[in-house]
Structure 1
Amino acid sequence: MPSRETLRLHAGLVDDMARMLDIDLQETAIEGRISIDQISDAVVRCADCPNPKHCQHLLQNADALDRAPEYCRNQDLLHKLRR
């Protein structure tokens, strides 16, 4: 099980990646398009990523993204939510 610090880091990365894709996870959950369990699963998938620094760098240097990077373990979920 990832540490609390690791989960916090990846929760932030999931939220930031969603925001870069113009997805508000809170609003999406309120609308019923995603469950809290699905968001938690996305954080755990992200925590399995071997190189979160690459994602951090991408997020810090972009104003917006058209799509999640190919290596993103949540790419399918994020693209589904964007529609």
Structure 2
Amino acid sequence: MTAIELITKEELREFKNEMLGEIKKLMQPGQGSTKKWLRSAEVRKLLGISPGTLQNLRINGTLSFTRIGSIMYYKLEDINKLLERGLR
């Protein structure tokens, strides 16, 4: 037979606050585990572009990529550089 452990409302509030704090840390830029490589869908979502636009960026050499099998990966660093060039 297993023992039943009861938690108090205060313990539940503390848990909630800890979880919210961790989520906020992860949502802040430069915090948490930042990926070095992104897949095509992630790049399209990040830049707000269509698959065709991403293909054009690859074809004209604007955005470099690495293909492993049928999956294309893009360096986050290269994407940031592309965005920085666009701001100037």
Q: Do both proteins adopt the same fold according to a TM-score greater than 0.5, normalized to the shorter chain? A: no
Q: More strand by proportion, 1 or 2?
A: 2
TM-score (norm 2): 0.30
Larger Rg: 2
